[in-house]
Chain A
Amino acid sequence: MEYIGVPQIVLGVIASFWPVWLALAIVLGASIVYKKRLGLYGQLFDSGVGITGVAICFFWLFTAIFASTVAHFDPLAQVPVMKDALPGAIVPDGRGVYLFGGDKLARDVFSRMVYGSQIVLIIAPAATAFALMVGITLGLPAGYYGGRIDAVLSFLANLVLAFPVILLFYLLVTPGIMDTAIPYGLAGVFFLFPIIFFLTLFYTRFKGRPDRAYLLLGLTILIGGWIYAGLVFSADPLGIVSISPNQLNIFVAVVFASSPGVFRIVRGLVMDIKTRDYVAAAQTRGETPWYIMLWEILPNARGPLIVDACLRIGYTTILLGTLGYFGLGLAPESPDWGTAIKDASRLLRSFIHPALPPTIALMSFVLGLNLLADALREQSMKD
């Protein structure tokens, strides 16, 4: 078997990412030029930490978007000769080079890492978004009303938090449970929250202006219902929205485990903000509690929530890796980083190269998110 040298590997990797570099250059260039007009996002470009964080996050985002162009091979395609090939091995029939070598099933490690980003970047932010929705919708009344509602909701949240996470995941994604209706039931509940959230949001604000209210409420029900039907019942009439049962499970597990955290943050923030005079001013003009929660309190809690969301995406990414490592959830041949690390770990003593790329990818993405969160926190403290 023939190999290319280390410099060629490096150059090859850099060259493969050409659409990513191009997109990065355009986006970052534009952001720096217009940073004064971009609010908090623009301020990120004032610090080195912020630029690094944004760059890393965008790098993986664009990698996921342009995965088919960046990767040279199908993530599932096997070229038998290439089993456990070392980095830089040239595929005999001249179809290209296994830049990071091949794994034990003779698949291209580089391409799998690139395609793995797609799975991670879809599931992690989406699951975090749902966790945020659930946490916010429950945290607002708990913090605002206090008393019994708070006691009950906090007790439930603590219950979930007190349960060992890994055990929880094992339970949720074991085949026995997967065959029952529990995951679908939970998904049905969780996915309902965003719809409730947006309905309340628009209803409270535009109650006095029926023309706007009906339009927005109708749109919410239409779009929300469509996605809901697709995700929970796999019954999307248009056939666009769908999710595999495995992924749905992971999704439910992640939302279930991280929403109590969001809940507690929101509850704390609301308890602080509700003592402000502008909340009292809203009360004295006769606003409903939900209007106050959603329109007076929530916008002022956004700073800490954005930071938390960034950190949480990173945490979820690691969680996905962990799940993949245990072989839970996603299909065994899935190219996601956790599963890839698990596959490679079996042969770690003899071949280290299949394990390194997904590990580094996971690490760098989480690092990027943490830097981003740090920079956001720092910048939002400044005004």
Chain B
Amino acid sequence: MNEAVKAANVTGAEPIIDIEHLSISFFTRRGEIPAVMDFSCKVMPGEAMGIVGESGCGKSTVSLGIMRDLSNVGKIVGGRIKFKGKDMGELTEEELRSIRGNEIAMIYQEPMASLNPAMKIGQQLMEVPILHDKVSKEEAYRRALETVHAVKLPDPERMMRSYPHQLSGGQQQRIVIAMALLSKPALLLLDEPTTALDVTVEAGIVQLVKGLGKELGTSMIFVSHNLGLILETCDRITVMYSGEAVETGNIKDVFDRMRHPYTQGLFRSIPLPGADKNSRPLIAIPGQLPLPHERPKGCNFGPRCHHFVEGVCNADEIPMIPVEGHENHFSRCVRFNEIDWNALPEGAKEKKEPVRPGAPMLKVADLRKYYKVAANEIFGGAEPRTVKANETISFIAHESETIAIVGESGCGKSTLAKVLLGLETASSGTVTLGNKEIQSTGIEDRDVETVSSIQMVFQNPFDTLNPSHSVGSQIIRTLEKFNVGKTVAERRQRMLELLDLVKLPRAFAERMPRQLSGGQKQRIGVARAFAGNAKVVVADEPVSALDVSVQAAVTELLMDIQRKNKTTMLFISHDLSVVRYIADRVVVMYLGYIVEQGTTDQIFSPPYHPYTEALLSAIPIADTSVVKKHIVLDGDIPSAMNPPSGCPFQTRCRYKHLVPDNLCETQVPPVKELGGGHKSLCWLSDDVLAKMEPVIRFDANHVAQEGVPDDAPHGAGPGFAGEPPQRPHGKNASAPAGEFGEHAEEVEATIRASGHEHRDETSEPHAADDHSHVAPFREQEVGDGRQAVDPDVPSAFEPTEEENEEDAKKK
């Protein structure tokens, strides 16, 4: 992936975009809130720059700043953006308009939000050349059709005649990319372009974007929270933290030899291959992202850094310091030459005993759930149609075992959860909890004991708590429903204990949910699920909407409580890396069927089910030493309303030709026993399965530490190697404590659209022979993820009060 860089880095080449010391502030009536400070980056022709960071770090603001589209409250207060040598600050509104969408194009997260639902795709695409190049309609149509071809959409003529809602999410995003490419832009800004899509669809889009960048020589700025995705698509990376770029450099340099503690913290908190919940737990970054007006003096990351030294790190504002021996590698850390990069943070503890699964707790046998879709309630009408949401689901979950249910949207995993919890009743089959059959008892008919013994943790932290009631009262209500405690005082006491359990200060009981960060809300969700001593907890993507460093903390918390209570956990996820890390056994679902199930090791090594193989390959892994087989599935997941005949996966399967008699298209395959409880729903014969290669391997020739050896001469010393940072308005807002710019938050919120940020990092089986060439961050031994203090990272603009931090510190 680095060829393009090398070609572009030929001396004398003019950068496409050159950002120098950019500072952006939001001005609200309560004062100025700096969102981006002293941000510099250069993108050469054909180069792809990745900007990575957690929510609220200002990465989207940078991309909007480049477009000069900061709404009326955002303003560029310092620095310059030079596009092809021209200073964008000097351009008039009209000149800007001719650049936007023409020379710089932007692709947003939600494809549906970027398309006009009332216009046909063709018309929308044709607008671009008609507007910018003033061509005739026929010419515009020809160009549009060509681009739809280029983004590899099937049947382009039909696409051109469709309305956006008639396409799937992946197809919509391809149309948005086509629209951006129509004007042959010099620079493409992609703001989390695949976050709203399924992993297998994401893999297709990523491949497309990469290919197009190479073919057309378009420069790209790729904004994402996903390090793996950045590794797959970009040549260079900038890591942002609290409004500043903290580290920038070539992908390889930053991934293999990072020189900023925050970057290292990020890598340590994602479940890369090699992490394991028993022997090598994740390490979360302690503390919280500072609020814009409470940024500390000196290093912004200082208060959360293990290497913080009083008087050095907080002496003065820190410039970007070049890293010796690496081209264009800078870090905003004064101590990076003094830090022992292999040392683990304090509080890292010994290994944990693996949990031994106990007696079977939950048995699901041949479960089916069909929905009838009627045309009209009052007048009847068209024939009702049946949607088969779950087909022949069978598995057993034991005490204190973690079972992961994996699948993409529409695979029936949420329906399964609903049936287990009694929100829906099964059409046939049995669900046995303990020794009680509960498949046909709706939640209202279940007794308190059953209800409290199977509980759920929900996906979206912004939705899981009722915004109108205080945190404490919501937990107390749950206790009341579960008959825990006899008096109000007893329940209150129990509620406070639950807050302790999820490591939140007791003062949070009086808080309203909007005063909590996403991770804190999710902890309350966990507390609520465990309030009645649940025996089975269904966790529906509990961390997928959280920031990377918070994910680690919440995951560890969930497992800790599970370990303590011997709870059975059903962990629903689309993210195989977390699954690899957390699960004892894995169930892979596709279109209502369980296509494969077995222990984690069985699932993650061959033989695979063809779908599992594609799923594994689709996930971006943030590790330069990993070599993946690239399998990109054609098309989208079929609709459950209209499932394919025979095997549910046959429409996208690449092994179909190996099965005789067209069996795949005619009959549902039998469940094949592969030994040791490993089951697969596939027609493939044993010898084909035996020939399967692992999807993920470690590159034997990979040298993690290329560049400069560690004994290279150290830099000129801390703090003196670069120019002083240029921050026209300082880094703290003028707003008094406790008052925040809702405007800034609104801007951020619109960018992040709906708060659904699906995160996927990844992990694969850890090859036994790779210890010689591990990257520095993996040379650590054991780490205990749980720091004494680990409240989560809130959005920079989220109104958390001062006491919030104080509480955290007290703990």
Contact = CB atoms under 8 A, between A and B. Distances in A.
Interface of A: 146-148, 150-152, 155, 208-209, 276-278, 280-288, 295-296, 299-300, 302, 382-383
A147 B448 CA distance: 28
Interface of B: 377-378, 421-423, 443-444, 446, 448, 451-452, 455-456, 458-460, 463-469, 478, 480-482, 488, 514, 525, 528, 742
A248 B260 CA distance: 75
Contact of B465 (A151, A278, A295, A302): A278
B448 A286 contact: yes
Contacts of A382: 742
Contacts of B466: 278, 282, 296, 299-300
B423 A277 contact: no
A277 B443 contact: no
Give the 6 A-B residue pairs with the shortest CB-CB distance, closest first.
Answer: A299-B468, A277-B463, A277-B458, A151-B378, A286-B451, A278-B466
A281 B464 contact: yes
A285 B465 contact: no
A188 B392 CA distance: 55
Nearest to A301: B468
Contacts of B446: 286
B641 to A, nearest CB: 19
Given A277-B458, A284-B421, A300-B467, 4 more contacts: A277-B464, A278-B463, A281-B525, A285-B452
Nearest to B421: A284
A207 to B, nearest CB: 9
B481 A280 contact: no
Contacts of A295: 469
Contacts, number: 68
Given A151-B378, A155-B378, A208-B480, A284 B456 contact: yes
B456 A281 contact: yes
B463 A148 contact: no
A59 to B, nearest CB: 27
Contacts of A302: 468
27 contacts: A147-B377, A148-B378, A150-B377, A151-B378, A155-B378, A208-B481, A277-B458, A277-B459, A277-B460, A277-B464, A278-B463, A280-B423, A280-B458, A281-B456, A281-B525, A281-B528, A284-B451, A285-B451, A285-B455, A285-B482, A286-B443, A286-B446, A286-B451, A288-B444, A299-B469, A300-B466, A300-B468
A299 B465 CA distance: 13
Contacts of A276: 463
B481 A286 contact: yes
B377 A285 contact: no
Contact of A283 (B423, B452, B528): B423
B471 to A, nearest CB: 12
A382 B443 CA distance: 37
Contacts of A300: 466-468
A347 to B, nearest CB: 51
A9 to B, nearest CB: 41
Contacts of B514: 383
Q: Among A280, A281, A285, find the residue whose CB has the most chain B CB atoms closer than 10 A.
A: A285
A295 B465 CA distance: 13
Given A147-B377, A382-B742, A383-B514, A284 B443 contact: yes
B648 to A, nearest CB: 27
A278 B480 contact: no
A278 B464 contact: yes
A151 B458 contact: no
Nearest to A288: B444
A300 B469 CA distance: 10
Contacts of A284: 421-423, 443, 451, 455-456
Contacts of B452: 285
A226 B421 CA distance: 44
A383 B378 contact: no
Nearest to A149: B377
A59 B478 CA distance: 46
B341 to A, nearest CB: 40
B726 to A, nearest CB: 33
Contacts of B464: 277-278, 281
B449 to A, nearest CB: 11
A148 B377 contact: yes
B459 to A, nearest CB: 7
Nearest to A296: B466
Contacts of B377: 146-148, 150-151
A21 to B, nearest CB: 30
Contacts of B469: 295, 299
Nearest to B451: A286
A76 to B, nearest CB: 48
A14 to B, nearest CB: 34
From A148, A155, A280, A300, residue with most partner B Cβ within 10 Å: A280
A283 B456 CA distance: 11
A288 B446 CA distance: 12
Nearest to B743: A382
Contacts of A280: 423, 456, 458
A227 to B, nearest CB: 28
A300 B448 CA distance: 27
A285 B448 CA distance: 9
A347 B328 CA distance: 88
B443 A283 contact: yes
Contacts of A287: 481
Contacts of B742: 382-383
B786 to A, nearest CB: 26
Contact of A285 (B459, B467, B481): B481
Nearest to B469: A299
A379 to B, nearest CB: 11
Contacts of B455: 284-285
B31 to A, nearest CB: 15
Contacts of A155: 378
Contacts of A147: 377
A248 B525 CA distance: 49
A281 B463 CA distance: 10
Contact of B458 (A146, A281, A288): A281
A284 B531 CA distance: 13
A299 B466 CA distance: 9
A285 B444 CA distance: 9
Contacts of B468: 299-300, 302
Contacts of B481: 208, 285-287
Nearest to B378: A151
A283 to B, nearest CB: 6
Contacts of A281: 456, 458, 464, 525, 528
B454 to A, nearest CB: 8
Nearest to B746: A382
A322 B421 CA distance: 55
A151 B377 CA distance: 7
B416 to A, nearest CB: 14
B707 to A, nearest CB: 47
Contacts of B378: 148, 151-152, 155
B423 A285 contact: no
A238 to B, nearest CB: 36
A136 to B, nearest CB: 15
A147 B525 CA distance: 31
B776 to A, nearest CB: 40
A91 B455 CA distance: 79
Contacts of A286: 443-444, 446, 448, 451, 481
B352 to A, nearest CB: 30
Which one of B452, B463, B482 has the greatest number of beta carbons of chain A within 10 Å? B463
A150 B422 CA distance: 23
B474 to A, nearest CB: 8
Nearest to B464: A277
Nearest to B478: A285
B698 to A, nearest CB: 39
Nearest to A285: B481
A209 B460 CA distance: 32
Contacts of A277: 458-460, 463-464
Contacts of B528: 281, 285
Contacts of A283: 423, 443
